[in-house]
């Protein structure tokens, strides 16, 4: 369940609620932080205020104790488009030792 937001657009509370309503209500919530070293953090406080133009804003803050749960799973990082999907390498030719006077041979 990856939420796509228009480039340059900001997510609204209604959009976030729509996507959260599709999730299991008993699921725990984590923040995905730092695309270059993707980590999972615990959500702490949720608060609301207004910006400099008087528009309402909701802030999701990291836990005050900065509880970090380690790296984000690769599938989550790919869903966030922080890293491209990785395909397993194709199996190529490799050298195999041959006993006796023979030289190495290639095998599939």
Low-confidence stretches of the chain (pLDDT < 70) are: 1-8, 66-67, 99-108
Q: How far apart are CA 30 and CA 65, in angstroms?
A: 14
* Contact indicator for 8, 14 with CB cutoff of 8 Å: no
* Contact indicator for 97, 104 with CB cutoff of 8 Å: yes
Residues 6+ apart with CB under 8 A from 95: 104, 105, 106
SS3 content of the chain, % helix, strand, coil (to 5): 15, 30, 55
Q: What residues form DSSP beta bridges with 46?
A: 60
Identify which of 30, 24, 25, 23 has the alpha carbon closest to the alpha carbon of residue 77: 30
Q: Looking at residue 17, what DSSP letter applies? A: H
Give residue 12's pLDDT: 86
Give residue 50's pLDDT: 92
Give residue 54's pLDDT: 92
Give residue 4's pLDDT: 66
Give residue 2's pLDDT: 62
* Contact indicator for 13, 1 with CB cutoff of 8 Å: no
Give residue 52's pLDDT: 92
């Amino acid at each position: 369940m990856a939420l796509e937001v228009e480039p340059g657009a900001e997510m609204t509370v209604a959009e976030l609620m729509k996507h959260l309503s599709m999730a299991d209500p008993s699921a725990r919530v984590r923040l995905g932080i730092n695309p270059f070293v993707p980590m999972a953090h615990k959500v702490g406080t949720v608060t609301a205020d207004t910006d400099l133009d008087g528009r309402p804003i909701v802030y999701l803050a990291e836990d005050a104790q900065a509880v970090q749960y380690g790296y984000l799973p690769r599938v989550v990082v790919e869903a966030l488009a922080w890293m491209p999907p990785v395909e397993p390498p194709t199996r190529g030719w490799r050298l195999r030792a041959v006993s006796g006077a023979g030289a190495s041979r290639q095998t599939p």
